[in-house]
Structure 1
Amino acid sequence: MKHFSLILFSILFSVQIGFAQKMTTITYFQNDTLKLDLNLFLPEKKSNEKLPLVLFVHGGGFGGGQSKDGNSFCEYLSKNGYAAATINYTLYMKNKKFSCDGVLTEKVKAFQFGANDLWLATSYFVENASKFNIDPSKIFVSGSSAGAETALHAAFWDRNLMKMYDLKLPENFKYAGIISGAGAIMDLNLITTNNVIPAFFFHGSGDSTVPYGTASHHFCKTNASGWLMLFGSHSIYDKLIEMDKSASLYTFCGGGHEYAGTLFEKDPQPILAFLNDVLAGRKFQNHTIVPTGKKNEISSAYKFCN
Structure 2
Amino acid sequence: MLSVALHLGIVIVLFAGFKWSPSIPESMNVQLNAPLQDEAVPEEEIVNAATVDEAKVQEQIEAIQAQERARQEEIAELERRAQAAKKQREAEQQRQRELEAQQRAERERLAREQQEAEKKRQEAEKAAEAAAERRKREEEAARKAEAERKKREEEARRLEEERKRKEEEARQRAERERQLQEQLAEERKARAAARSRQIQSEVGKYTALIRSTIQRNLITDPSMRGKECKVRIRVASSGFVISVNTISGDTAVCQATQNAVFKAGTLPVSSDPEIFKEMETIDLTVQPEFN
Name the TM-score, length of structure 2 as normaliser.
Answer: 0.17
Greater share of residues in helix: 2
Q: Which one has the largest radius of gyration?
A: 2
